[in-house]
Chain A
Amino acid sequence: MDISFPDILTNVFDKHKKDYLTITQIKKSLPKGVEQILGLQVKKLNYKEFVDSIRPLLPDTCSIHKKGNRTYLVRAPVQNIILSYVGDKTPMTIRKLYSDLPFQREEIADALNMLVKSGHIHLQIITQTKDFGVQVLIQKKQNSSHEIKNAYDIIRKDKHYVKIYELRRYLKWPDERFDSCIQSLWDAGVIELQASDPQLLDLNQRKDSFMDKTRTLRILLIWRGE
């Protein structure tokens, strides 16, 4: 079975469970069969020759970074490496991030700015013993549809529907957000809203239900998932 150099690199990174490795680590970890692909005996190559020989074979997502005395091969864009690294360690200070990852200050700063701009992270100023520090926090993606579905599944138990006022009270969202989300899910055919009998509800329960555009009070929500 033919195996490419990028596949070999993926295996190496996976084996080390890391997204970046020093060139030395890569060189030592390559399997024997790699010599057939490179056409060279890896062991006989010096450091520079090795880097030059693999550079043309690297996939677009990989890049070589130098930090201090070491040179690293990184298998994903800097922003992705940062997001993945911060992951469940959030919050993490920028100082710690810089010391742990194989990137220059400029690279870290550029990537963090881009991540803030795209809403993937936000930064928080904290006080430290002598001065201030900055923490990186992962912004959990706001997926309203998922949140509604999760709440629906919790509330409905063994029933095939939920009462909208129960859902609204459970989620505690601002009314505008809740109503617009319900409306867009309804428009998309993901949910079905039914009128039911308003006389079975008290005034507050009716208020917390959903008034549609034709001013019909919708009381029940059924997940159709189309």
Chain B
Amino acid sequence: MEGRMKTPKEILQENNPFYSNTHPDIWIRQFPNIPSINGDVFSSIIRIIENKQKNPQEPVGILVNGEAGTGKTHMIARIREYCEETSFQIKFSAIRPVINYNTPIRHLFRGIISSMAHTVADSSGCTQFHGLLFSMITEYISNESENRDVLKKFEGNPGKFFRFFSKFKNERELLYNRVQTWMIKEIPDVYPLFIKLLFAYGNPKLQQIARSRLEGDIADPEDARLLNVPYIENQSDPAAEEEARNFLLSLGLLLSRYNQCLIICFDQLENLQTEELIKAFGLTNQTIFNECYSLLPLSFMRTLHWERFEEILDRSVIDKMGMSKLNLHGCSQSQVKEIIESRISAVFPDTWETLANWLIPLVQTTIHKNPTSREVISAANAIIMKTDGKDTPNKDIWPSPNEIIGSAYSNERDLILSDLDAWPADYEEITSAVSIFLKSRKLPFTTKKLSRKNILTITYREKRCCVIINTNRNHSAIGASFSTGTQFLHKNPGSICLYLTDPRCIITKPTWGPANQKKNDFLEAGGEILHPSEGEIARFYALYSLSCKITEGDIQIETMDGVRPITHDEFYDYVGSKELFESIFKATQDDTDIDEKKHEISVDAIHNAICEVLYHQPMHIMRADLLAQSLFKKGVSITHDELIMWCGEHAGLYKILQSQQGSMIIVTGKVAVC
């Protein structure tokens, strides 16, 4: 091999741009858009959005039907990009499938918060919430003739405004107080608590607790005091639903005041597999249509699944949801060419033409008319994987279901870890992940749903284990969880009880006397607290996310007999294998040492070290685990997980590409950084 020029196939096999055929993350553009693919659907959506801006009270919905691989998630990402182009005058949100049918409105509003609190690209921490705050502040200042000129220096840019005022905290608070008081008077129907919490969100010190309170969580009276809002003890489900509804209505009122609107994209709806969940989804839409201004729901669904929804939901909801029914289609020959060229040029910016000229004719001869984007990418991948000189693919080269699921899982985990903000602490999703794990390991269990926490009880060989899953930040709720665990341990001597939460949720504060006492009782009774690291919790969310993708038919396997979706049984087999899949239950890691080392290294030093390694690599791309090892040799101690999170935080400079061997890091930003 030495001295010989590599063939196009060999080059593509080394850094295969066609490995992944799913759109990994709606917040990141990994490969360029091909505007003409389903361009008519996109144009129709934009037209409807513009109409909604003009008629905020019109109850309109959009239904986008498309089979697996036709580009549903890609279309959501395109809509997000469009919203970004409007500087988020059109707000964007994406909602994952509801799990608890008792609280659909809270689920919806949590999803909206998660999207609106997601950092906007290249904005130094600004979010869509900041944009909304800026609209209110701008209107207020514009009404004051003596201060109107102040706005000029911010050039309509919320980022500039909030950066400027971060240096003048007292003035900022004074301004916030005046604006919110004025706003509550201006819009009598708005829920004052919502306005208060929005402005608290604009204060970096209160941002996290304000967000939690918007989600219906409050830790203790101290946090309520900081936010200057009434303290609420544990909210019942109906009370939480009512509050979320009021927040939703208020958000709509605010948006309509500024001729803005919020796009709500419902994706992965095939995961609503029971009648209750479908009805809960219907109720969500009904609330949006009948009660809210300026909210535009877009439902993305596979065609035949919609037939099931039509059978279950009320005609009035169905009619409004599907008022504009759009259908995604396959690609034309020229679009096939564009897909291949754009993918190759993203990874091989200098040599893409030769590679594309080799690959395109081969793909075109293997695919049928009007293939889906995924079929094009899969066909390209299959050609790259073929052994030279053979007409049929090498049997040994085709990955097994375990290999496909293994790399899909590892890629999914890294994807979540790189953007953990898009996965806020969620006990329902963690519960789903634990259930998948237990089912895979063939451990019989029961699930008890309590208010805002779940308890799983496993019985195995006459032994019992209780897992309490809680992400509620309220001190009473946390204390009650420990009490439940202690009672279980007392009633079931010799049993195990685990308290599991998300690393972003505190266990207890030192000031919480009763809760700390209950925690100590729990530990003394033999209970164990699982407070996973960010890397560990990403494993839970990845299990849940992968399960949803499998339901959608998004994880596919290429076999000698053709392409087919991975099944849930294959997924359970993989997770059930102790050799392939490590247990999700691990004791809390002590990562103090790692943190200390990380703080010793400056941000620039890490950038420089990464760039130095990657610029010596062909195409400036390298596997994340190998990159971490290379950095270690250069004196930069950074784990694989930390590297992934680092690259996620600096998404403008680095891209994380999925590959069969795991995540690949590629430098895409300006060389000046290095």
Contacts and interface: CB of A to CB of B under 8 A. Distances in A.
A203 interface: no
Given A214-B563, A215-B562, A216-B564, A196 B303 contact: yes
A224 B330 CA distance: 11
Q: Is the interface of A mostly helix, strand, loop or mixed?
A: loop
B70 interface: yes
B304 A212 contact: no
Contact of B303 (A186, A194, A224): A194
A213 B368 contact: yes
A197 B551 CA distance: 9
A50 interface: no
Contacts of A187: 368-369
A197 B305 contact: yes
B561 A222 contact: no
Contact of B370 (A212, A214, A224): A224
Contacts of B563: 214, 216
Interface in A204-226: 212-216, 219-220, 222, 224
Contact of A192 (B69, B305, B308, B330): B330
B67 interface: yes
Given A192-B330, A200-B304, A214-B563, A220 B67 contact: yes
Contacts of A188: 369
B327 interface: yes
Nearest to A215: B562
Interface string B69-102: 1100000000000000000000000000000000
Contacts of B562: 214-216
A197 B302 contact: yes
Given A196-B67, A215-B561, A222-B329, A161 B368 contact: no
Contacts of B217: none
Nearest to B333: A189
- Place the interface of chain B in its size category: 20 to 34
Contacts of B325: 160
Nearest to A160: B327
A189 B335 CA distance: 14
A109 interface: no
A186 B67 contact: no
Interface string B541-560: 00000000000010000000
B40 to A, nearest CB: 13
B370 A197 contact: no
B303 A161 contact: yes
A222 B304 CA distance: 13
Nearest to B302: A197
B564 A197 contact: no
B659 to A, nearest CB: 24
A38 to B, nearest CB: 59
A215 B553 CA distance: 16
Contacts of B368: 186-187, 193, 212-214
B95 to A, nearest CB: 21
Contacts of B65: 160
Nearest to B567: A199
A195 B369 contact: no
B70 A194 contact: yes
Contacts of A200: 304-305, 308
A173 to B, nearest CB: 21
B68 interface: yes
A213 B69 CA distance: 18
A148 B268 CA distance: 33
A22 B370 CA distance: 58
Nearest to B329: A192
A195 B67 contact: yes
B553 A197 contact: yes
A15 B325 CA distance: 52
B172 to A, nearest CB: 52
A15 to B, nearest CB: 50
User: Which residue among A161, A193, A214, A220 has the maximum number of chain B CB atoms within 10 Å of its CB?
Assistant: A214
B370 A195 contact: no
Contacts of A224: 329, 370
A192 B38 CA distance: 14
A222 B67 CA distance: 12
Interface in B559-604: 561-564
User: Which residue among A195, A200, A215 has the maximum number of chain B CB atoms within 10 Å of its CB?
Assistant: A195
Contacts of B553: 195, 197
A212 B367 CA distance: 11
Nearest to B69: A195
Nearest to A158: B325
Interface in A21-56: none
A197 B550 CA distance: 11
Contacts of B329: 192, 222, 224
Interface string A177-192: 0000000001111001
B270 interface: yes
A192 B327 CA distance: 12
Interface in A149-171: 160-161, 163
A64 B624 CA distance: 90
Contacts of A194: 67, 70, 303, 330, 372
Interface string A80-119: 0000000000000000000000000000000000000000
Contacts of B370: 189, 192, 224
User: Which residue among A188, A213, A215 has the maximum number of chain B CB atoms within 10 Å of its CB?
Assistant: A215
A76 B634 CA distance: 94
A27 B635 CA distance: 112
Contacts of A186: 368-369
Nearest to A192: B370
Nearest to B366: A214
A163 B67 CA distance: 13
A219 B553 CA distance: 14
Nearest to B559: A215
Contact of B369 (A192, A196, A197, A219): A192
Nearest to A163: B304
A180 B564 CA distance: 23
A189 B329 CA distance: 12
A204 to B, nearest CB: 16
Contact of B302 (A196, A214, A222): A196
Contacts of A161: 303, 327
Nearest to B332: A189
Nearest to B369: A189
Contacts of A212: 368
Top-3 shortest CB links A-B: A215-B562, A194-B67, A214-B562
Given A196-B304, A213-B368, 12 more contacts: A160-B65, A186-B368, A186-B369, A187-B368, A187-B369, A189-B369, A189-B370, A194-B303, A194-B330, A195-B68, A197-B68, A222-B327
8 contacts: A189-B370, A192-B330, A192-B370, A194-B303, A197-B302, A213-B368, A214-B562, A222-B327
Interface of B: 65, 67-70, 270, 302-305, 308, 325, 327, 329-330, 368-370, 372, 553, 561-564
